[in-house]
Amino acid sequence: MAANLYYSIVSVFFVLAVMILVHELGHFAAAKLFGVRVEVFSIGFGKRLVGFRRGETDYRISVLPFGGYVKMSGESPLDQRAGGPEEFMSHPRWQRVVIALAGPFMNIALAIGLLTWVYMVHYEHPLYLDQAAVVGWVAPGSAAEKVGIQPGDKIIQIGSSKNPDWEYVLSKIMLSPHSAVHLIIQRGDQQLQKTVFPEVSGQDQLGDAGLVAQQPFTITQMEPGMPAAKSGMQIGDDIVAADGMPVRSTQSLSHLLQQTKNHPVVLTIKRNGQQIDVTVTPQLTTSDDGRQVYRIGILSMPVHVDKLPFTQALSRSIDSNQKNSLLILELVKRMLQRKVSVKQMEGPIGIARVTGMYAQQQGWTPLMGVMAAISLNLGIFNLFPIPILDGGLILLLLIESVIRRDISQPIKERIYQAAFVCLILFAGMVIFNDMMKVIPGITHHVQ
């Protein structure tokens, strides 16, 4: 527990510091390019802790670490301006738009760069994730079973996206609790249209249709003393059938074992290109959540490792970030439509939990992958047309360009004040949701 907390604290400070530094460097570089005087470059908000002054800029670390800012001369509506050429407001609107865009642009560029590096060095992922969406198992009573989806069906279209991989299919379903998800599936020579309404699952209230990917059932771990080990099965064996029925996923075999209980099961396995039959008798055990389940003591988590050349890695990174950007925008749209819960959003506590988990994995690439995702989210979030954010500044500049005059200072002040209050309330709600997920019993006490 103490180790997990340590990794979470250290990793979240490292990740957020990099995200903020890169974002503010974008604003800083663009401002310097156009000759705008930068008074403060701060990592964090509030009181100055440490720093140094070089030229006209105070580089500092401030007491509140979750954020940062670049203070440009004459930038704020509340600033007293002399009208000098070094002031932000003295520059053409298009230059101010470029300065505002530079921060989010740097975060998006960082996401592309990090993911490119991960794809080049060591991208380890579940084997099925980037494969064609062939169904391996359908949970009994699930939304998918209710509309007649069967193991072996291939999802050839979800919404308007054709030939999706499993990563895209699962992401779309998770973002669609209680909402219609239109599928076209291939079953033999037939193409069938299905509409699934995923159910809500877990603390984050994500959508779950009960679909499990088809993938080879390759034994990756075995428990000593359990039935599988006693039968002579080995790591690397592929289980292809159980009692003559095809095994397409871990869940399908687990479901069969709960039905057969303590009766022997004949497993057909493939080893070194040859098929052999092995008889095992499931053993009743207690799972981590306290349930009594029948098991044979094996685990199948086959993974694939990509190491791509630079051009392929860059192309794949751009494609992945583009897909993830569209999913982020769809999530926000569904939240505004109240079709998904705000609980799907992660605040600083949630980010710390996730980064801590990835920081403990072997190598740097898992943490770099999650950093890329956070950087992309930060870049897109800052482009939303909300005053105080970069997107809000861009919106006001575009409005001024259309009406061909500046919006009055009192109106700008009221807009920024209202936006600040709304942003604080939103941040408080997200942090409260974070706390409800990690503090035992808090959900019960607030209901």
Find the helix or strand (DSSP H, E) in which 319 lies: helix 310-336
First to last CA, the chain: 28
Per-residue model confidence as pLDDT tens digits over 376-432: 988 998 999 888 889 988 998 998 889 888 887 778 778 877 777 777 776 666 666
Is the whole model's pTM more than 0.85, yes or no?
Answer: no
List the domain boundaries for the chain.
2-17+87-120+366-446, 135-213, 217-289
The CATH code for residues 217-289 is 2.30.42.10
Cα distances (angstroms) measured from residue 273 to each of 130, 227, 236: 25, 23, 12
Residue 192: pLDDT over 70: yes
Of 3-7, 66-70, 247-251, 423-427, the range with the lowest mean pLDDT is 3-7
412-442 burial code (b ≥16 CB/10 A, e <16): beebbeeeeeeeeeeeeebeebbeebeeeee
Residue 35: pLDDT over 80: yes
Specify the CATH superfamily of domain 135-213: PDZ domain (2.30.42.10)
Question: Which residues are designated catalytic?
Answer: 24
Percent of the chain with pLDDT over 70: 88
Measured CA to CA, the distance from residue 201 to residue 164 in angstroms comes to 23
pLDDT band (50, 70, 90) for residue 447: very low
Position with higher pLDDT, 25 vs 360: 25
Residue 337: pLDDT over 80: no
In CATH terms, are 135-213 and 217-289 the same topology?
yes
Residue 85: pLDDT over 90: no
Percent of the chain with pLDDT over 90: 37
Mean pLDDT, the chain, rounded, equals 85
pLDDT, residue 3, reads 58
